[in-house]
Structure formats: C-alpha cells, structure tokens
C-alpha cells in the first residue's frame, strides 16, 4: 500500500523489521534494506527505526519513506527525527535556543531553522512551538504544523505525554540507586529563577523519578581534586520549568555544568549543562496512537 509516495507495510505475524522489508519489498537485498535503515527512511508505528533486528508483532505498521518525498534538513545544531502532516520531531544540539529571546532578535533558533525548512516544502507552510528546551539542554523537541494543533497540544500536554525521560550527569554520589523528588516550584520570571519548597507553599507540585545508571571519579579544579559524578535517568511525572535542574540542586546533586542552579565550576566533560532529553513518548493528537522517539545517550555522558 502507498500513501503520499510512501510505502506502508503491516506485520501479520511476529518477525524482524529486516525480514518483513525483504519479504514485502519485491526481493530487496539485505544490503539495500540496511541502506534504507541508515538513511532513516524506515518508521515503525510512526517512529524512525535504524535496526534491522528490531522485533515486530502482528499489527505493527512499517512505513518506507520515498526518497522523492523527502526534503532534507541540513543543520549542525538540529536534525530531523520524524515528520508528518501534523508534527515535526527534532533532535536539538546544545547551544541552540528553541525560540528567540525577544521578537526582534535575529539569532538563529530551532524555530527559525524549521520555519525555513518547511517553507522550502511549500511557501505557505509554518511550524509552531509545543514545548521548549534550555539553550544548553540537548535532545527531543516537538513542533506542531498548525496553530490549532499547537494550542491543543499545549493545553493537553500532560495528558498526551506517556513517557518523558532525560539523562543527566549530576555532581556527587546519590545515596540510593532509585528515588523520587517531590517539591513545590515557584517561578520568579523577573529574576528568571525557579525556587523549590519541600512543602506546599502555593507553588506547582513537581515530581521527578530518578535512577542511577553509573558513576565515575574525575579530577576537577585547579588542584585536580577528585570528585564523583553520577549518570542518571530521570522520568518526569510533571513538566515544570527547569524542574530537573532545580530538583537535583535541591537534594545537593546539581547537574554538572549548571551555572544557574549548581556550583557552576564543577568538572564538565563537554563544557556545558550535562542534560539531554533522551526519550519522548506521547499520544499522537491526530492518529490517537502512541508514538515513541528516543536518541542515544551522548557519548560524553557515559560512565
């Protein structure tokens, strides 16, 4: 079956992605299938997949993106993860702000890059911000392709998102391998700061679940003092402004490189805030199916 020049396949039984494509695509060779996967032209249930050995179950939908239907996004700070008629999902590199700091700014942003990209497809196309990442935070960002969809996703974001996982390098060794941080956060927009309270002081309740993935000892500062840094996976039950940064700082383990809420002078392997939006899973507002996107842990984070 074809849809807008793309080929749609459906798994009837349990199989692998490679086996399904080889069987359904007119005798494609294993090498040709691998080339499709490397080119990010294969999606499973709406999410880009690059591994041929990915297991499929009956009912899974596989989309082969037509080469003719693709418009390439080339930018060192932004890469395309997924797009359809409703949404665009990108992987943002550190150093790129999501939206301009003021309306008159000429600074390159994730929004301006995507606006130029979609207008190459058609001059009337546009994109709209659904949520944001800090300038130095890398990872997954979602944009809507209409103002109506933007408003809907912003209004129901908490209900739509089924999983949101970050990875971070944090200062020190956490006392427990897993835990939950619950505080009330108050945003002071005048000072551009978020403050945390362990009790309900009228702020917004914020809940972060963390798991320690590993740790390593590094040397830091002018005197090469040894210190421990921990790699954490963090799942957000709520999505407040600067939630992870404020929560980790509140328990004495700020994100490495956080000059705003942490010490700011701690060893950083990449000289920036060590926070990455790794996994984003949500109910697609048009298809009402769960879509899942993930990016690798930055190699500089690994312990």
For residue 226, the number of C-alpha atoms closer than 13 Å in the C-beta half-sphere is 3
- Listed residue (141, 298, 158, 144) closest to 239, CA to CA: 158
End-to-end CA distance of the chain: 45
Cα 300 from Cα 218, distance rounded (Å): 13
Per-residue burial over 40-57, b = 16 or more CB atoms within 10 Å of its CB, e = otherwise: bbbbbbbbbbeebebebe
- Listed residue (102, 144, 135) closest to 272, CA to CA: 135
Note if 223 is an active site residue: no
Cα pseudo-dihedral 168, 114, 111, 96, rounded to 10: 40
Of the residues 53, 84, 104, 134, only one is catalytic, namely 134
Backbone angles phi, psi at 17, to 5 degrees: -60, -45
The residue with tokens 């421990």 is 228
Please work out, in degrees rounded to the nearest 5, the angle formed at the alpha carbon of residue 11 by the alpha carbons of 5 and 16.
105
Q: Which residues have C-beta within 8 Å of that of residue 47, sequence separation ≥ 6?
A: 82, 291, 292, 293
Tokens of 218: 């590094």
Catalytic residues: 134
């Amino acid at each position: 079956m074809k849809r807008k020049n793309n080929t749609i396949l459906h798994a009837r039984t349990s199989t692998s992605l490679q086996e399904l494509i080889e069987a359904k695509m007119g005798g494609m060779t294993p090498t040709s299938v691998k080339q499709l996967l490397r080119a990010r032209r294969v999606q499973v249930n709406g999410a880009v997949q690059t591994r041929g050995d990915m297991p499929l179950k009956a009912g899974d939908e596989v989309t082969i993106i037509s080469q003719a239907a693709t418009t390439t996004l080339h930018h060192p700070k932004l890469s395309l993860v997924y797009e359809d008629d409703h949404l665009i999902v990108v992987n943002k590199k550190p150093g790129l702000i999501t939206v301009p700091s003021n309306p008159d700014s000429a600074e390159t942003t994730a929004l301006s890059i995507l606006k130029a990209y979609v207008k190459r497809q058609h001059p009337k196309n546009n994109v709209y911000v659904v949520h944001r990442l800090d300038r130095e935070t890398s990872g997954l960002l979602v944009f809507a392709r209409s103002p109506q969809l933007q408003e809907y996703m912003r209004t129901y974001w908490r209900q739509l998102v089924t999983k949101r996982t970050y990875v971070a390098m944090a200062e020190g060794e956490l006392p427990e391998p897993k835990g939950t941080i619950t505080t009330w956060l108050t945003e002071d927009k005048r000072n551009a700061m978020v403050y945390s309270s362990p009790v309900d002081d009228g702020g917004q309740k914020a809940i972060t679940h963390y798991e320690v993935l590993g740790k390593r000892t590094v040397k830091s500062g002018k005197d090469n003092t040894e210190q421990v840094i921990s790699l954490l996976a963090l799942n957000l039950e709520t999505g407040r402004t600067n939630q992870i940064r404020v929560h980790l700082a509140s328990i004495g383990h700020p994100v490495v490189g956080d000059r705003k809420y942490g010490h700011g002078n701690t060893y950083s392997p990449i000289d920036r805030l060590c926070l990455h939006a790794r996994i984003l899973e949500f109910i697609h507002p048009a298809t009402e199916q769960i879509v899942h996107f993930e990016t690798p842990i930055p190699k500089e984070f690994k312990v």
